[in-house]
Amino acid sequence: MSTAPPIPGTDAELARWAARVLDGTGLTVQQAAAVAADPAAAVPPAAARAAQALRDGWSAAKGDTSP
């Protein structure tokens, strides 16, 4: 398992891309992370499909993160 060093600017790049992907769901990036990590988290109706996909992606990531 490797740990990446901080890469300047990448956090902002991820945030910009995430904002585009979440457009129309009503979720912020922080809320999306919370929904993905917690199957019991409340989800607004407009974000129901996004929530399912977020949780599937998070679950698969948890299952195997080793390169």
Partner 1 sequence: MTADWYDLAQRLYAARSRTVVARLSGAPVPRLSNPVAIRARQHRAGITVTAAAPGRAEATARGTDALTLLHDFGVRITAGSRRTLVAGDTSTLPALLALAHSAGPDGAQADTAAHLAWWADRADFPGSSAVVSLTACCQARWITGTGPAAENRLGTWLAWLAVPGTGCPAMLALLDRVQAGRPLTLLEWIERADADSWAFARRGHDGGRDWRQPDSTGQAATGLRARCDTTDLYAAALLTDPLFRRRAVHTGHVVTGIAATAPGSKNAIIVTCDRADARLRAGDDITGWAGDPGDSPADRFAGTVAATGISAGTLTVTITGTRASVTPGGTRVTICPAAPDPMVQQLGRTRLRELYRTRTSWLTTGRAPAVVRRDVPLDIVVAAAGAGSGG
Residue ranges that bind partner 1, judged by CB under 8 A: 1-5, 7, 10-11, 13-14, 16-18, 21-22, 29, 32-33, 36, 49-50, 52-58, 60-67
DSSP track, 1-67: ---PPP-TTHHHHHHHHHHHHTTTTT--HHHHHHHHH-TTS---GGGHHHHHHHHHHHHHHHH----
Q: How far is the CB of 26 from partner 1 (least distance, A)?
A: 13
Cα distance between residue 16 and residue 28, in whole Å: 11
Q: How far is the CB of 24 from partner 1 (least distance, A)?
A: 11
Q: Which CB atom, from 19 or from 42, has the smaller least distance to partner 1?
A: 19
Q: How far is the CB of 44 from partner 1 (least distance, A)?
A: 14
